[in-house]
Structure 1
């Protein structure tokens, strides 16, 4: 870069050896240090592993209690546990009782909306398990406007305060 009133700017790529870019060099060194440290690397990546070495005693107890309650990710996992099977049966009974759907013949050109099970554990205020909750939800995001539906309806109830 040259100075002056009628000067032209010549872009120059900064060099890490240039003293004015010392902070960039320091950042690069810090990244290398973090990458070399396995303990920090584990903390940065996603996964199921948790390093307990940096946790206080209270947090170690809390984290270990979390791992005791397993929430299934697939229907097959849920069906292997009687608690989740019972929760799924309750949800199906509630859907039938509320007449959520009716059984019809599938048209040949119909685009079916798939469904999936969502599993959660509800806790009491004393942190004990209240119940295993399941919900059968539609994958509505697979529908296309004017192909699968023409209008939407979302009933909303507003309570007066």
Structure 2
């Protein structure tokens, strides 16, 4: 009576495939799949069998990208694309809304400021000074100090020109009523 020895096929553990079993003895059926998202065994090989000659029934495939998604992968991929698209649309909508509202608010503030600044409510004859545009404080202050015809009398002299708190400081007009409407 002859005793046959068990034949082993080469190990598949280091192949990078997901295996249904690690047994490599003769007659073992191994189902192959890939662990990475969207990857499938190349050549469509999904099952290999260990033959009596110590070889596998098919060449051992490698994992490669495939657009043939499983149902689970389709759900994950579709949900991811939809979520990213939604976030992009929301961000664009927020940017557009902010710019539109900001411009509208800025125009409204400009109109209200110009109306109150140029109105004659602060003085009976209106403002006719040498400087009737708004600007930074130092420019406004120096405009009052160095008027073209020195029409407005100032309290500052050459010694106090660098100390505006000792000279004439024009008071801003205050608009009446609510600022934001």
Q: Which has the larger radius of gyration?
A: 2
TM-score in same-fold range (> 0.5):
no
The TM-score normalised by the length of structure 1 is 0.25
State TM-score, norm by structure 2: 0.23
